């Protein structure tokens, strides 16, 4: 039976700064790298044979750390990229107007 595990990327510089990322990229923090290592340690005994991630740096790095722990390769697929947040990308969350916040929420929730 096929089992699929979904993992979010580790903490990034912009996560820590509470900035909107979308498809703009931000590197993992030391904490984010550690989070990925912890996930890899937990997953290495699950028999994982493939790791697939978006081509954004933060997800690629998280996937590489996990794949290394599991002894497999990473396949990058741009179709897995985060939602494009347009003009909101790179903005601090606390700088959004009420209208922009409702737009962001609508984009996330569909």
Residues acting as catalytic residues: 9, 82
**Cα dihedral 72, 80, 86, 102 sign:** negative
3-state secondary structure of 75: strand
Angle (deg, nearest 10), helices 30-43 and 57-70: 40
Q: How far apart are CA 89 and CA 62, in angstroms?
A: 21
């Amino acid at each position: 039976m096929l089992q699929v595990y979904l993992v979010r990327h580790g903490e990034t510089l912009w996560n820590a700064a509470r900035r909107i990322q979308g498809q703009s990229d931000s590197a993992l923090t030391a904490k984010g790298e550690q989070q990925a290592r912890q996930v890899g340690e937990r997953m290495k005994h699950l028999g994982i044979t493939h790791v697939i991630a978006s081509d954004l740096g933060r997800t690629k790095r998280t996937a590489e750390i996990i794949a290394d722990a599991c002894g497999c390769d990473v396949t990058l697929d741009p179709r897995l990229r985060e939602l494009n947040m347009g003009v909101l990308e790179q903005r601090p969350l606390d700088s959004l107007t009420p209208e922009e916040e409702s737009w962001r929420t609508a984009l996330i929730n569909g």
